[in-house]
A and B are shown apart, each in its own frame.
Chain A
Amino acid sequence: MTPEPLHEVTLTVNHVPHQLRLPARRLLSDALRHDVRLTGTHVGCEHGVCGACTVLLDGQPIRSCLMFAVTADGASITTTEGCLEPDGELGAVQEAFHDCHALQCGFCTPGFITTITAYLETHPNPSEQQAREAIGGNLCRCTGYQNIVAAVLRAAEIKRERSAP
């Protein structure tokens, strides 16, 4: 059988451009994990339900297991690694997860971090109910969500603290 044709794909991941040659069927999640080798993005179902693979595509949360890498050609992608502060310290959402014990095994966590990071951009001061709804599309089997809800609120607080002059 003939080898699969490869396509030139440029993915800018956490501000760093990557030139890749990939088969058309390579999932964005696999490209990020195994070609770019940023394994912070996790794959829990590969059918778009769990949200563990959520990354930000030009700022919008998407499920990277439901998109081909070639489709994302030219896009700017943020993964959980890109949610750190520029100096490498934990970002506001990550710090809040640490404070609130919002992760146990940590497998679902990257999808929550990216989702919440994007959410807080447009909802800087959510109520508890809104925080719960904001994470309503991500599955976690460990935490029962209570501490993740608390972490959304705490992250909003940390963001405010950090942006205070």
Chain B
Amino acid sequence: MTTKLFGQRIRRVEDPRLLSGRGRYLDDLGHDALAVAFVRSPHAHARVLDIDVSAALEVEGLVAIFSYDDLDGKTSEPLPLLIPHPALTHGRTPYALAKDEVNHVGEAIVMVVASDRYVAEDVVGLIRVDYELLPPVVGVERARDGGALVHDDVPGNVAATMVQEVGDAAAAIDASPRRQRLQLSIERSASMPMEGKGVLARWDADDESLLVHTSTQTSTSVRQAIAAKLSLPVDRVEVVTPDVGGGFGVKIVHPWPEEILVPWASVRLNRPVKWVEDRREHFISSAHERGQLHDVTVGYGDDGRVTGLSVQFWHDNGAYTPYGLIVPIITSTQLLGPYKPTAYRVEFASLYTNTVMVTPYRGAGRPQGCFVMERVMDAIAADLGLDRALVRERNFIQPDEMPYDHGLTFQDGRPLIYDSGDFPASLSKLKQLVGWDDFAKYRERAAAEGRRVGIGLACYVEGTGVGPYEGGHIRVETDGSVVVSTGLTTQGQGHQTMLAQIVADELGVPMERVRVTTGDTRRFKYAVGTFASRTAVMSGSAVALTARKVRAKALRIASNALEAAVDDLEIVDGHVQVKGSPGSQVDLGAVAVLSNPLRYAFDEAAARATQFATPHDPDQPPVAADDEPGLEGSGFFSPTRSTFANGMHAVVVETDPDTAEVKILRYCVVHDCGTIINPMIVEGQVHGGVAQGIGGALFERMEYDESGQLLNASYMDFLMPYASEIPHIEIDHLETPSPLNPLGVKGAGEAGVIPVSAAIAAAIEDAEGVVITAMPISPSELFDLRRAREQRGEAR
């Protein structure tokens, strides 16, 4: 009997290739392609008056210089607004090359194509652009006061305002026995994958076709976008995602200007053309996220139960809004976490600033929402002198209330209904894991040694597996190997392993026989993309359903060959056999041969399917009217709604009494992503998410000065955590299956990052006795909070 692979810690099939240097990332391809570099704006806000290329023209190796005026057809129009929303009344997107105005440092103005990147950068250095400077708008406060405008035709810098309300929050808060108001903020960070973006385009003039490789999270949509922009038939464009060195959200945005310009230049020059982003370009011209200010009023009872919650927040969307309102919509809905305030009102304004645009970064608005809600819970506990875990417990949605309808609309345009989860069980697991109830004793012991320690916890719920759909194609080859294609892309999450586990189980074949391809439009044309922790839910379910179809076909064909009823057959280890009598069997490769009636015996296996080799019914066509040749099939999965994963984190910190440095002593996670396909991979996702969360809580921020210069646009100055900053992470799982998909799974990719700032803020607050309202927090900021408290004469 084949052992079930689902749920096992299977080592990844991706690894041997990547470990031996045989990975193929974007810049590993197209060594002989022409190279691209860009003249990017050094100013945050300016009119472009003149571009002078005369000094550059003599450079040996220069091939072409393009500016906006060279763009033709639809390439000269603004890039698409990917996710329109009725509330986004003033959506703005950039041109592929700046037309006459630049709105952030780093915006591309001139494209240089040369023999290699060194030469292209030489040319960039010789091109002179004259600017008329305009007043830059940097930071939410400046955007909000509306004194200067990012876009002349967007009054008050307001891209959108949106309100959602259930019940009458204002009245509920007024009627509450207790009330508090909190001002909370989170700063900008960014996905910052180790591999930047990159595009390689190869136009084949003879075939009139375009092959594009791009480091993206959605090859199918990039394909459509390129075809539309270049006015090519979609049929003549294919987009392949090679190995991708991390995405974390930034690569779901598309088409990036370069994803249009590089293919366009390849067609125009009739040469392979490649652009590979360098780190500085990534900092100043990709995307950031997280920057939001929140003003929160909460009403609650003496028991700590929230009766009304009103949140107003301001979202800094940067210079453009190609990704619509997804991030603030997620904040405003997922803020609620595992809780059920009786009445809730949320209002946000999405504001333009002269900074890099803001699009989802792992967590996508949830870390901010979780920070807000969990700070509220801690504030209530502090006010009432109650245990912080108890206040949370009292506000939890209970398991018997599932499915729970919040009465709001989620980011997929569908109702915010939690499908399953057991929050009290998760909390009790977490308390046990971290030793919540014994912490007071630990604190006393530490205090006796002159050490300051604190503990914090935070809970979240994450809508995952967002629609509309994903699909898969599975073919059993005549040698018995199984080829699986799904359209969405992969950036290191182990999708090939996870999907192979599912297919191997469903089909009854050894996993080594299964090969999985992702993100290649030549192989599968219909997909949405990899975002919102959706691959296991969406593609996992799609390939499972497809495998069931293929299995049914295999059984049908084999039942003829074995002269046994379908119901009496099983597939074990790649063979179809009569249940209980493994002597009577046919291997899947042979079934694949029989599935495809042939005229020509091009190899030995094929000979078995030719016209004189097989017995057949002379009155029936070789392929039945409702059938197709081949042991293969396609299938799709499209759920009615997102499925909601959840988790809870607890962290113990120690703060240095002199330097105010924060050291994480323990980090504990309880994670519920439904049934788990591969625990090793899920834990890896949690580790990585927590590490990014710690970066966002203690180290990472985009330091814009008031003129809009990003002062820390390098790995030297933007502090991402090394191994020395990340503690050992302790994980416990709860598996509450989702009723919304055939596998019972929920997404796990983003989870780890969501509650980290909230939990660490709570732990520092607990250690220090200062109220924390803004994250990330640096040692000098904590030092200042301490000093302010001392000046107020308060004791710790």
Residues of A within 8 A of B (CB): 1-4, 23, 25-26, 33-34, 37-47, 49-50, 52, 79-81, 84, 88, 90, 94, 97-99, 101, 103-110, 113, 132-133, 135-149
Known contacts A81-B21, A142-B492, A1 near B194 by CB under 8 Å: no
Known contacts A81-B21, A94-B19, A105 near B729 by CB under 8 Å: no
Among A4, A81, A88, A139, the residue within 8 A (CB) of B194 is A139
Q: Is the CB of B680 within 8 A of A107?
A: no
CA A45 to CA B282, docked complex, whole Å = 10
Known contacts A104-B494, A141-B688, A147-B684, A46 near B245 by CB under 8 Å: no
Complex interface: chain A residues within 8 A of B492 (CB): 103-107, 142
CA A3 to CA B194, docked complex, whole Å = 33
Q: Is the CB of B687 within 8 A of A144?
A: yes
CA A1 to CA B752, docked complex, whole Å = 54
Among B15, B25, B61, B681, the residue within 8 A (CB) of A98 is B15
Complex interface: chain A residues within 8 A of B28 (CB): 33, 39
Complex interface: chain B residues within 8 A of A26 (CB): 118
Tell me the smallest distance from the CB of A28 to a CB of chain B, in Å.
14
A-B pairs, top 5 by smallest CB distance, nearest first, are A40-B21, A105-B492, A107-B245, A144-B687, A144-B691
Tell me the smallest distance from the CB of A63 to a CB of chain B, in Å.
12
B716 CB–A CB distance under 8 Å: yes
B58 CB–A CB distance under 8 Å: yes
Known contacts A43-B27, A132-B723, A136-B723, A104 near B60 by CB under 8 Å: no
Q: Is the CB of B19 within 8 A of A49?
A: no
Q: Is the CB of B245 within 8 A of A145?
A: no
Q: Is the CB of A46 within 8 A of B243?
A: no
CA A37 to CA B12, docked complex, whole Å = 26
Q: Is the CB of A139 within 8 A of B687?
A: no
30 A-B contact pairs sorted by A residue (CB < 8 Å): A1-B60, A42-B25, A42-B195, A44-B245, A45-B715, A47-B714, A50-B194, A90-B20, A97-B15, A101-B11, A101-B12, A104-B688, A106-B14, A106-B243, A107-B25, A107-B193, A107-B246, A107-B492, A135-B723, A137-B722, A138-B723, A139-B720, A139-B722, A141-B192, A143-B684, A143-B688, A144-B688, A145-B687, A145-B722, A146-B728
Complex interface: chain B residues within 8 A of A34 (CB): 31
B681-697 interface code vs A (CB 8 A; 1 in, 0 out)? 10110011111100000
Tell me the smallest distance from the CB of A159 to a CB of chain B, in Å.
16
CA A84 to CA B720, docked complex, whole Å = 30
Q: Is the CB of A99 within 8 A of B11?
A: yes
For B14, B21, B243, B681, which residue has the most chain A Cβ atoms within 10 angstroms? B21
**Smallest CB gap from B684: residue in A:** A101
B430-461 interface code vs A (CB 8 A; 1 in, 0 out)? 00000000000000000000000000000000
Task: Say whether chain A's binding surface is mostly helix, strand, loop, or mixed.
Answer: loop
Q: Is the CB of B491 within 8 A of A39?
A: no
Tell me the smallest distance from the CB of A93 to a CB of chain B, in Å.
9
B42 CB–A CB distance under 8 Å: no
Among A38, A45, A105, the residue within 8 A (CB) of B21 is A38
Tell me the smallest distance from the CB of A57 to a CB of chain B, in Å.
17
Residues of B within 8 A of A (CB): 11-12, 14-16, 18-25, 27-28, 31, 58-61, 118, 192-195, 243-246, 248, 278-279, 491-494, 680-681, 683-684, 687-692, 714-716, 720, 722-724, 726, 728-729, 752
Complex interface: chain B residues within 8 A of A133 (CB): 723-724
CA A139 to CA B688, docked complex, whole Å = 12
CA A1 to CA B123, docked complex, whole Å = 12
Among B31, B60, B244, B692, the residue within 8 A (CB) of A141 is B692
Complex interface: chain B residues within 8 A of A52 (CB): 194
Among B12, B494, B723, the residue within 8 A (CB) of A145 is B723
Tell me the smallest distance from the CB of A86 to a CB of chain B, in Å.
13
Complex interface: chain A residues within 8 A of B493 (CB): 104
Among A45, A46, A106, A141, the residue within 8 A (CB) of B19 is A106
Q: Is the CB of B194 within 8 A of A107?
A: yes
Q: Is the CB of A109 within 8 A of B691?
A: no
Complex interface: chain A residues within 8 A of B59 (CB): 1
**Smallest CB gap from B243: residue in A:** A106
Among B60, B118, B684, the residue within 8 A (CB) of A3 is B60
Known contacts A103-B18, A107-B193, A144-B690, A49 near B724 by CB under 8 Å: no
Complex interface: chain A residues within 8 A of B248 (CB): 141
CA A40 to CA B28, docked complex, whole Å = 8
Known contacts A136-B722, A146-B726, A47 near B716 by CB under 8 Å: yes
**Smallest CB gap from A3: residue in B:** B60
CA A46 to CA B121, docked complex, whole Å = 14
CA A103 to CA B193, docked complex, whole Å = 14
Q: Is the CB of B194 within 8 A of A105?
A: yes
Q: Is the CB of B19 within 8 A of A90?
A: yes
Tell me the smallest distance from the CB of A78 to a CB of chain B, in Å.
11
Known contacts A47-B716, A107-B195, A109-B19, A145 near B11 by CB under 8 Å: no
**Smallest CB gap from A94: residue in B:** B19
CA A2 to CA B58, docked complex, whole Å = 9
Q: Is the CB of A79 within 8 A of B21?
A: yes
CA A148 to CA B58, docked complex, whole Å = 49
Tell me the smallest distance from the CB of B489 to a CB of chain A, in Å.
12
Q: Is the CB of B12 within 8 A of A105?
A: no
